[in-house]
Amino acid sequence: MNKTKYIDFVFEEILEKEDLDNLESTFLNLGFKKIYFVREIKNKLDLEQDFIVPSTKSKYITYEKAYLFYDISLLPKFRNQEKSIILGYGGNLKNNTDILSKERGISILLNPLSDKLAFDTASSNLCKENKIKVGFDLNYIRNKPLNSIKQLNFIISLLIKERIDLVIGSFARRKEELIDPQIALSFLLNFGIEEQTLERFLGEGGEND
């Protein structure tokens, strides 16, 4: 029986650090049905290098590409012929607003977290207007809990109120950073999201409804 039902995002460098067969086995054991390998785009050279996603051996899991832009001024140079998921890295208020304010083909605003609150009602309105989901990197939250938890409480309450979808992923760089979806589910229940809704977020990732 196919027990895989979740989606995760991992950085492509994990392919250089881990044995692929062992990695795929771990993905399946954790219940993942789809993995997005994420290329980080920080300069023009990152767009020019080949990005090859391996084939799977199991019929219960698929691999796809995703691109994370740290500099959205590079987006016009990117030809998304495969219609891959595009993420924009937030952080400060300026980045969050720039990503949300125009139609650029970005699907997900990732980590709209900063030293101080950088996501507000206006941000959530832009998400809704431009149909952009909000994503959180669970390893970032785990490594910076004091900086993240208070902001997460506020941001997630806004997203629930405005019915904006979340995207939740480990964004692992090595196998040890992969996070069991059941642990993610238990953690995120603390923010007042219904379990059924969380199951949907964990199972849809950046995919369109």
DSSP characters for 20-46? HHHHHHHHHHTTEEEEEEEEEE-SHHH
| Segment among 4-8, 33-37, 54-58, 66-70 with least mean pLDDT | 4-8
Spatial distance between the Cα atoms of 125 and 128, rounded to a whole number of angstroms: 5
What pTM value is reported for the model? 0.92
Spatial distance between the Cα atoms of 164 and 131, rounded to a whole number of angstroms: 8
pLDDT (tens digit, 9 = 90+) per residue, 77-119? 898 878 899 999 998 888 999 999 876 789 999 999 988 889 9
Identify the structural domains of the chain with CATH numbers, from first to last: 6-204 (3.20.20.140)
pLDDT (tens digit, 9 = 90+) per residue, 152-197? 999 999 998 899 999 999 999 999 999 999 999 898 888 888 888 8
Q: How far is CA 123 from the centre of its chain?
A: 18
